[in-house]
Amino acid sequence: MTADPILSVAGAVGGYGGADILHGIDLTVGRREIVGVIGPNGAGKSTVLKAIFGLIRLRQGSIRFEDQDIAGWPPNRIVRCGIGYVPQVDNVFREMTVQENLEMGAFLRREGLEAALERVYVLFPDLVEKRRKPAGSLSGGQRQMVAFGRALMLDPQLLLLDEPTAGLSPRYCEQIFQIIRDVRAAGVAVLLVEQHAKQALAFSDRAYVLASGRNRAEGSGADLLADREIAQMFLGG
Ligand SMILES: Nc1ncnc2c1ncn2[C@@H]1O[C@H](COP(=O)(O)OP(=O)(O)O)[C@@H](O)[C@H]1O
Ligand SMILES: [Mg+2]
């Protein structure tokens, strides 16, 4: 638990229309906190992020962001209240240029577009020379940066990142982790789903282990890393 969380999910139950996938998930994210979510494939990690972002409707439970219950809100309203989301797959418009992708992230923004672009290009210098190239022509790591940058274009207070390092080379992984630190230093809270469980625990302030749509464990990243049972079950021994 977190005192004065920016996000708090309580008793989240829901799925994709058939059987429930989430069976009562609880989690909180504090201000400027990096919170990891790990667990086996199919545990419901991506589904939790989709529920927070309004892409699936919960059958039960609440999602509080700041002082509002946002459960049931559509994504366009959620993005406007300060939550950015980077999906696990298909997260760029491939035919559009890098810069057009970034501008799409700011479609709700009436002013400050140039300044927002500038901030993103400072965080992701690799994208500057690619800005007129179709996003589909970029490497996986660079596309991940475009998706990440696009989510930053509206200055979110909370970022939902679904496996931002999946399939990336160690160099890009380290770069993405460094950018997450920079974003947090700028005041943003981060909820980070990661396949690289050990790395995620070492990196996160706090983390949740999910299994079969339920909370399995939670604690500081360091405590979970040191937990032998968790290590055996979820971290490959
Ligand atoms: N669009 C969908 N429609 C129906 N079932 C889905 C859909 N997406 C995921 N699922 C199912 O929900 C469960 C949890 O998936 P997911 O949240 O993607 O797991 P994780 O991200 O932890 O690997 C899985 O059993 C998966 O097959
Ligand atoms: Mg997933």
Average pLDDT over residues 185-199: 94
CB-based contact 152:183 (threshold 8 Å): yes
100-157 residue pLDDT tens: 999 988 877 767 899 999 999 999 999 999 999 999 999 999 999 999 999 999 899 9
Type of residue numbered 69 = D
What pTM was estimated for this model as a whole?
Answer: 0.94
Pocket probe for ligand 1: among 13, 16, 160, 212, the residue whose CB has the most ligand atoms within 8 Å is: 16
CB-based contact 47:56 (threshold 8 Å): yes
Where in the chain are the domains?
7-234
CATH level 3 topology of 7-234: Rossmann fold (3.40.50)
Neighbouring CB atoms inside 10 A of 215's CB total: 15
CA of 35 to the centre of ligand 1 (A): 21
Ligand 1 close to Cβ of residue 38 (< 6 A): no
How many helices (H) and strands (E) the chain has is answered by 9, 10
134-149 residue pLDDT tens: 999 999 999 999 999 9
Ligand 1 close to Cβ of residue 46 (< 6 A): yes
Pocket probe for ligand 1: among 25, 47, 50, 53, the residue whose CB has the most ligand atoms within 8 Å is: 47
End-to-end CA distance of the chain: 27
Q: Which two tokens stand for residue 13?
A: 């139950």
Alpha carbon distance 97, 179 (integer Å): 22
Type of residue numbered 1 = M
Largest CA distance in the chain: 52
Report which DSSP code applies to 57. Answer: -
Q: 159: closest CA among 129, 123, 114?
A: 123
Average pLDDT over residues 84-94: 90
Report which DSSP code applies to 134. Answer: B
Ligand 1 close to Cβ of residue 41 (< 6 A): yes
Q: What pairs with residue 20 in β-bridges?
A: 15
Ligand 1 close to Cβ of residue 43 (< 6 A): yes
Instruction: Report the chain's C-alpha Rg in angstroms.
Output: 17
CB-based contact 158:191 (threshold 8 Å): yes
Query: pLDDT-derived band of residue 171, with 50, 70 and 90 as boundaries?
Result: confident
